[in-house]
Each structure stands twice: as C-alpha cells, then as structure tokens.
Amino acid sequence: MSRFTFDAGITPSEITPEDIYRDRRRFMAAAGTLMGASLIPDLALAAAAPANVFAGKASRYNTTETENTFDQITHYNNYYEFGTDKTDPGENAGSLKTRPWSVRVEGECLKPQTFDIDSLIKLAPMEERIYRLRCVEAWSMVIPWEGFPLSELIKHVQPTANAKYVEFTSLADPHQMPGLAERVLDWPYSEGLRMDEAMNPLTLLTFGLYGKALPNQNGAPVRVVVPWKYGFKSAKSIVKIRLVSSQPGTAWNKSVPSEYGFYSNVNPEVDHPRWSQATERRIGEFFRRKTLMFNGYGDYVAGLYKGMDLKKYY
C-alpha cells in the first residue's frame, strides 16, 4: 500500500516535499519498467501529488552527487530583497505575490512579447536538472531544479544579429520586498550573460525544484540557473529579459566592481579579494572540498572562454 494513504498511521504534515519527490521518482521508474503499472491505484497517486507538480524528464547534464535536502535549499538563501542574512528569505519571502506574473522579453529581437508566467512555463518541455549551485562565499549545494533551456525562449523571440548579450531584471516592489529599503544593491537586481553563455544548453530557465513550483525564497516564479558561475549570476523572480548589443551592467558589479566582475565563472585559481575561492563547504557537510574549475562543468563550457584571460575577465 502506498505510504501516502493517510490511514497508514502517517499524517499529511509528516510528509515532506522530499518524500513526495522521491516517491514520484520511484513511481516513474517503476512505471517505466513494469507492465503492471496501471494496477497502482490512481487514488494513492493523487494523494501523493502536491499542487504544481512538474514532470520533467531527467537531463543528461545531471550530477549524481547527493542532493541537498529541501529544508537546506529553502532555509539557507541569498535574496537581498528579503534581507541579507541567509535565513531572512525563508522568513520574509512569503510576502512575494507570484500570480499574476508576467515576463517581458524585448530588445534586439523580431518578436518582443510579454508572457504570462503560466504560458511561459509551457513554452518548452520541462526537464529535471540536478545541478551544483556554487555561491561566491565558498559554499555549495546540489539542487534538483526544474525548467527548460533559456535558449528555447531566446529562439522563440527571434534574436537579431545585434543581440550580443542578455540582461535579466528581477522584480523590485517595495510593498512586497522589505529589503529594498536598504540600499545594499542598486535595485532592481539585474544580471547579464553573453549571448553564447545564454544559449548554452546548461543555462536553465527555472520554474521549480524538487518536483514542485519554486519556493519564493528560491526565486519564484521564474529564475535562471547558470551552474558554472557563482550563484549571484542566477537572478531570481525575473520580470524582464532584454536582448542587448553591449555588455549590460549587473547589480553586484555596479555595487562592488573590484570584487564582482561580469563573467563570474567559478574559478578556484582566482581569489575573491576578501577570501580564497579554492575550496568550498557543501551545505550539510563538515569538511571543505576542492572547488572545481567551472564548478565541474568545464567539458560543456570551457570552449566559451578560449583565449580569454580569466584572471582579467573574472
């Protein structure tokens, strides 16, 4: 009998999103191999399915490293619009209203348009991407994200030959985001990628994690995830994506240009001015581990930077 039938001595509140996620994966694996899959009661499945379940197919880019727990991923965050402590976003981001939500895509393209979030989600097939997210303050997590390649959206709006960079703008609404009262960054939060970085299949337009919609503190309803770069390149709660002809400014580079460059590729050989970037602590672990060049994704992205001095273009 499924553990999700509530007469089995387990209360709904004891079921964590992780349990649901793992159970769904086990079910999907079983369904794929067993002829008798149809015998599994639909009712039990319905009980296991939380709202907003994505059903992304596993990606070939997935790491096999152990995932961080849902609790770690949602209680150790950087989202300065909700405060600068790692625990602030988990406590404060409940005030973010993620529906209705639209994303404007404009600039150097033939088909600029405004997407309602619920149609944007359906633009391309959802994939599960188990990626390392590597933050600049030398910590990392392994997170099962869900989304589709950003390239799908960019192709959809038909970029012109002048589209050399992509600029992302996050929501900046002081009524919903108490952190905007502190001028710690130049709001709205903005980030950018070179066009070939944005088109790289690793760059994920992300709508969910652990098989459900993104929690607010992780950047609901849509963010990017760029796994070979430091975490701050992955802008959260995006309202505008602009294709531009020259390198855009970015929130961190504008605030502290000596510490944060445009490229921000994970690079153990280039220290941050205030700390070494050679090692990192995986959240939940005690011992530090060596940080890998391009966060371990060099096979897919090293070619983007051929001939560039990565000490200069940090």
Ligand X SMILES: Nc1nc2c(c(=O)[nH]1)N[C@H]1C(S)=C(S)[C@@H](COP(=O)(O)O)O[C@H]1N2
The site for ligand X (CB under 6 A) is made up of: 77-81, 133, 135, 170, 189, 218-219, 231-232, 234-237
Instruction: Confirm if 234 and 226 have CB atoms less than 8 A apart.
Output: yes
58 is known to lie in a ligand binding site:
no
Q: Give the shortest CB-115-to-ligand X separation in angstroms.
A: 18
Q: What is the DSSP string of 138-171?
A: TEEEEEEEEEEEHHHHHHHT-B-TT--EEEEEE-
**DSSP H helical segments within the chain, as ranges?**
17-33, 42-48, 70-75, 88-92, 117-120, 150-156, 195-199, 251-255, 298-301
Q: Which of residues 76-95 bind Mo ion (CB under 5 A)?
A: 78
Q: Provide CB contacts within 8 A for 108, sequence distance 6+.
A: 159, 160, 162, 163, 164, 243, 244, 245
DSSP letters of 87-135? THHHHHGGG---SS-EEEEEESBSS-EEEEHHHHTTSS--EEEEEEEEE
Residue closer to ligand X by CB (options 59, 218) is 218
Query: Does the annotation place 48 within a ligand binding site?
Result: no
Partner interacting with residue 236 (select from ligand X, Mo ion, none; CB below 5-8 Å by kind): ligand X
Indicate the residue whose CB is closest to ligand X: 231
The interface region with Mo ion, picked from 71-79, 96-104, 164-172, 294-302 by CB under 5 A, is 71-79
Is 267 marked within a binding site? no
According to the annotation, is 305 in a ligand binding site?
A: no
> Using CB distances below 5 to 8 A depending on partner kind, what does residue 215 bind out of ligand X, Mo ion, none?
none
The answer to whether 170 is annotated as binding is yes
Selection from Mo ion, ligand X, none that 121 binds (CB < 5 to 8 A by kind) is none
Tell me the Cα Rg of the chain. 20
Quick check: helix, strand or coil at residue 223?
strand
80 is in an annotated binding site: yes
- For residue 189, the partner it binds in Mo ion, ligand X, none, with Cβ less than 5 to 8 A by kind, is ligand X
Pick from 149, 154, 143, 142: which is nearest to 300 by CA? 149
231 near Mo ion, rule: CB under 5 A: yes
17 binds Mo ion (CB under 5 A): no
Q: Which residues are annotated as a binding site?
A: 77, 80-81, 135, 170, 218, 223, 234-236
Q: Which residues are annotated as a binding site for Mo-molybdopterin?
A: 77, 80-81, 135, 170, 218, 223, 234-236
